[in-house]
Structure 1
């Protein structure tokens, strides 16, 4: 039986990646592990497209759908421009729920300068809560196109913002009453507010101008899975340092309370960047100039079988999460 969340990499290779229809003559970037979008040659520019469902939460589902898909497109260096959305509603849904989701989609897309250009809406038998599936399209010049599998040996690993932002916000919303009793209202409101940092569009477009080799936004499985996906797609290893990975106090305390690993908690809002070491300072300065904190947390290695984390001076394997920590409590 398959576990909740993303399909394991070995099953993707066995079942998915060998059943991809006809070859695409103008496809620049094909489906692969850790590759969250595709790039298609359109002559004067490159079309970048990505699709993702929102399944882990009902709260602000339209907001998540726009930003999660926009993030994937932006990590390829492309500006998100057009959005298609399928809204699947549970059998007991009313018009108010549909209006709420559409308001969230509209406001989020408008803020990013994205047009909603199509989709599908239905009431779906068997659902207990709504599911929103989005497809974001963007474009970029060929010389500015970046891929998630472009990391090189010796590249610095840069992380923007903090680990576990999205997961912290979701848990704070889903378990609000329980957490208020333990940590207080002000603490929980801060944790809930992490949703406001979920976009990495500005992170990615800013970093790309400063010179990067690859970018990837860590979603399910958190920072740990995102690092594995980047390394696997580039056929590299990696070394990261636990004490250099920035984590908010709210995330640490909530994870400790529920027995969760913050590094394996869904982390939309953070961005993992692979860049030549000589560019790292310029990238961090450019990001900080936009008010985005960033730090070097490790490096990519030539040996693809070496994926390690250094913690308290000791090196150990960086194990890939079987599923996201969020699924343990929501």
Structure 2
């Protein structure tokens, strides 16, 4: 494609064609429209932003998922997303259009609006780069902060760790990985696309949580590090209480990755003193969850393995996925 803005004809066909599906969207993308307008009434507006740099062929879809998950971690209902898409000159129109299709598919799945953004071909990028801004709303007394974890809170994890990392690696290295994965494991990974969102558990957990954090880059270790740093508290995590799927175990072992440092969108970390009520309601919704530890007063993070050995998590880890992609 030629360097510069994406031609209006492409945007007209693949972006400006969308209908406004939500009553709280007052102004959506169009030719010459550089802003969107959202009616949040008396609620609090919540805004977040994330780049997608290591998602390969699923980057468009995941660019929507990650910002919706950030909003859910604050207790907010996602409303819409704005996406900046930078394409390298050697990319094709079809690659760009596929990213738009994936973004729109995710918006439809999560009942949110593509509010706009920016797109161009730029020589400063070597592969597609997507930066998404998510917009949501929450009632004043439902807003959740990462910094509010309390001593004695139980630490709950939803679903299983490594969902996103395993899904990305499978889609990038499919032929190689299929040589040792069982048909059941392949089916499980392919279904992970339906498990990458934590919006449902976020909207349930906001009634019980002192803090929430979606488990993204840096995996479980990254998420608990940020929760503890934000709240000025510490934590104990017990490896024996963590659930990993066989596909996550196999792919992590094949690439020699630590699954606790692997990007894990699809899993929410929740701290709460109402763990029984929360677990009961999540399971009623069909969402697996389990207690893996507790928040402590001393500002240190202990990871206790199955042999009782303690590892201190004293820095934000580099995500394991960068060893492969």
Smaller-chain TM-score range?
A: 0.7 to 0.9
Deviating more after overlay: 56-65 vs 258-267: 56-65
1:1-330 to structure 2, matched below 5 A, reads 44-184=42-182, 186-209=184-207, 211-276=208-273, 279-304=274-299, 306-319=300-313, 320=315, 322-330=317-325
1:127 offset after TM fit, Å? Answer: 2.3
- The 1-side partners of 2:129 and 2:247 are apart by 28
Unpaired runs of 5+ in structure 2? 1-39
- Summarize deviations over 1:65-120 as a string: whole Å, max 9, x none: 11100000111111000211101111112221121111111121122121111200
Instruction: Please say if residues 157 and 291 of structure 2, whose CA atoms lie closer than 8 Å, have aligned partners that are also in contact.
Output: yes
Q: What residue is the counterpart of 1:30 in the other structure?
A: none
The answer as to whether partners of 2:88 and 2:122 remain within 8 angstroms in 1 is yes
Aligned partners of 1:91 and 1:126 also within 8 Å: no
Q: Distance in 1 between matches of 2:311 and 2:85?
A: 40
Q: TM-score w.r.t. structure 2 length?
A: 0.84
Larger radius of gyration: 2
CA contact (8 A) 1:170 1:192 kept: no
Check whether the contact 2:234–2:296 (CA below 8 A) recurs between aligned residues: yes
Quote the offset at 1:45 in angstroms.
Answer: 2.0
Counterparts of 2:187 and 2:170 in 1: how far apart (Å)? Answer: 8
Q: Distance in 2 between matches of 1:110 and 1:318?
A: 42
1:190 positional shift = 2.7
Q: 3-state SS of the aligned residue for 2:180?
A: helix
- Return the alpha-carbon distance in structure 1 between the equivalents of residues 319 and 191 of structure 2: 21
- Partner of 2:179, secondary structure, is helix
- Larger displacement relative to structure 2 (131-140 or 191-200): 191-200
CA–CA distance in structure 2, aligned partners of residues 260 and 50 of structure 1 = 29
Q: How far did residue 174 of structure 1 move?
A: 1.2
CA contact (8 A) 1:308 1:315 kept: no
RMSD of aligned C-alpha atoms? Answer: 1.5
Asked if the contact 2:221/2:317 (under 8 Å) is kept, the reply is: no
8 Å contact from structure 1 (residues 224, 318) kept in 2: no
Distance, in Å, in 1 between the alignment partners of 2:115 and 2:159 is 31
TM-score scaled by length of structure 1:
0.83
Residue in 2 aligned with 1:8?
Answer: none
Helix, strand or coil at the partner of 1:149: helix
